[in-house]
Amino acid sequence: MFALGTFSRGDGERFAGLCFGDRVAPLSSLQTLASEVGAQWRPEASVLDLLTGWDEHLPALCHLAERFGEASSACEMMSSLRVHPPVDRPRQIFC
Protein backbone atom coordinates (compact mmCIF):
# COMPACT_ATOMS: atom_id res chain seq x y z
CA MET A 1 0.00 0.00 0.00
CA PHE A 2 1.23 3.49 -0.77
CA ALA A 3 0.18 7.13 -0.80
CA LEU A 4 1.35 10.16 -2.73
CA GLY A 5 2.41 13.44 -1.20
CA THR A 6 4.21 16.70 -1.87
CA PHE A 7 7.29 17.49 0.21
CA SER A 8 10.35 19.70 0.40
CA ARG A 9 13.65 19.65 2.23
CA GLY A 10 13.87 22.79 4.34
CA ASP A 11 12.93 25.72 2.12
CA GLY A 12 13.88 23.85 -1.07
CA GLU A 13 11.90 22.87 -4.11
CA ARG A 14 8.76 20.82 -3.72
CA PHE A 15 8.72 17.27 -5.02
CA ALA A 16 6.25 14.41 -5.32
CA GLY A 17 6.92 11.41 -3.17
CA LEU A 18 5.70 7.84 -2.89
CA CYS A 19 4.85 7.31 0.79
CA PHE A 20 5.15 4.11 2.79
CA GLY A 21 3.96 4.79 6.32
CA ASP A 22 6.40 7.31 7.79
CA ARG A 23 8.92 6.99 4.93
CA VAL A 24 8.98 8.86 1.61
CA ALA A 25 10.70 8.01 -1.66
CA PRO A 26 11.03 11.02 -3.99
CA LEU A 27 9.62 10.02 -7.38
CA SER A 28 12.67 11.52 -9.08
CA SER A 29 14.91 9.02 -7.27
CA LEU A 30 12.78 6.17 -8.62
CA GLN A 31 12.81 7.30 -12.26
CA THR A 32 14.95 4.43 -13.60
CA LEU A 33 12.82 1.81 -11.88
CA ALA A 34 9.65 3.69 -12.85
CA SER A 35 10.65 3.56 -16.52
CA GLU A 36 11.25 -0.20 -16.22
CA VAL A 37 7.67 -0.72 -15.03
CA GLY A 38 6.17 1.46 -17.76
CA ALA A 39 5.90 4.86 -16.11
CA GLN A 40 5.37 7.71 -18.56
CA TRP A 41 5.76 10.70 -16.24
CA ARG A 42 8.62 13.22 -16.15
CA PRO A 43 11.18 12.98 -13.31
CA GLU A 44 9.87 16.30 -11.93
CA ALA A 45 6.20 15.23 -12.11
CA SER A 46 3.91 16.65 -9.43
CA VAL A 47 1.07 14.89 -7.65
CA LEU A 48 -1.30 16.86 -9.88
CA ASP A 49 0.48 15.46 -12.97
CA LEU A 50 -0.03 11.93 -11.65
CA LEU A 51 -3.67 12.54 -10.77
CA THR A 52 -4.38 14.07 -14.16
CA GLY A 53 -3.35 10.82 -15.82
CA TRP A 54 -4.42 8.54 -12.97
CA ASP A 55 -5.71 5.65 -15.09
CA GLU A 56 -2.45 5.61 -17.02
CA HIS A 57 -0.16 6.06 -14.00
CA LEU A 58 -1.79 3.83 -11.38
CA PRO A 59 -0.45 0.49 -12.72
CA ALA A 60 3.13 1.82 -12.74
CA LEU A 61 2.72 3.27 -9.24
CA CYS A 62 1.43 -0.07 -7.95
CA HIS A 63 4.38 -1.89 -9.54
CA LEU A 64 6.79 0.60 -7.98
CA ALA A 65 5.22 0.13 -4.57
CA GLU A 66 5.47 -3.67 -4.86
CA ARG A 67 9.06 -3.73 -6.14
CA PHE A 68 10.42 -0.84 -4.16
CA GLY A 69 8.93 -0.91 -0.67
CA GLU A 70 9.90 1.13 2.35
CA ALA A 71 13.20 -0.66 2.96
CA SER A 72 15.00 1.14 0.13
CA SER A 73 17.88 3.47 0.82
CA ALA A 74 16.13 6.10 -1.36
CA CYS A 75 13.47 6.56 1.34
CA GLU A 76 13.64 9.45 3.76
CA MET A 77 11.86 9.83 7.06
CA MET A 78 8.74 11.95 6.59
CA SER A 79 9.55 13.74 9.86
CA SER A 80 12.72 15.15 8.23
CA LEU A 81 10.72 16.70 5.38
CA ARG A 82 8.30 19.58 5.15
CA VAL A 83 4.84 18.30 4.18
CA HIS A 84 2.77 20.39 1.74
CA PRO A 85 -0.77 20.01 0.40
CA PRO A 86 -0.66 17.28 -2.26
CA VAL A 87 -2.10 19.64 -4.89
CA ASP A 88 -1.31 23.34 -4.42
CA ARG A 89 -3.59 24.89 -6.98
CA PRO A 90 -7.25 23.92 -6.97
CA ARG A 91 -8.45 23.05 -10.46
CA GLN A 92 -12.07 24.05 -9.93
CA ILE A 93 -13.84 26.20 -7.41
CA PHE A 94 -17.61 25.90 -6.98
CA CYS A 95 -19.57 28.64 -5.23
Find, among 66, 58, 15, the residue nearest to 38 by Cα: 58
Alpha-carbon dihedral sign for residues 9, 32, 65, 91: positive
pTM of the model: 0.84
Range list of β-strands (E), the chain: 3-8, 15-20, 23-26, 76-77, 82-84
pLDDT, tens digit, 9 for 90 and up, residues 40-84: 888 889 999 999 999 999 999 998 888 776 556 778 999 999 999
Closest CA to 25 of 94, 76, 81: 76
Whole-number CA gyration radius for the chain: 13
Confidence of residue 29 (pLDDT cuts 50, 70, 90): confident
What per-residue confidence (pLDDT) applies to 71?
A: 54
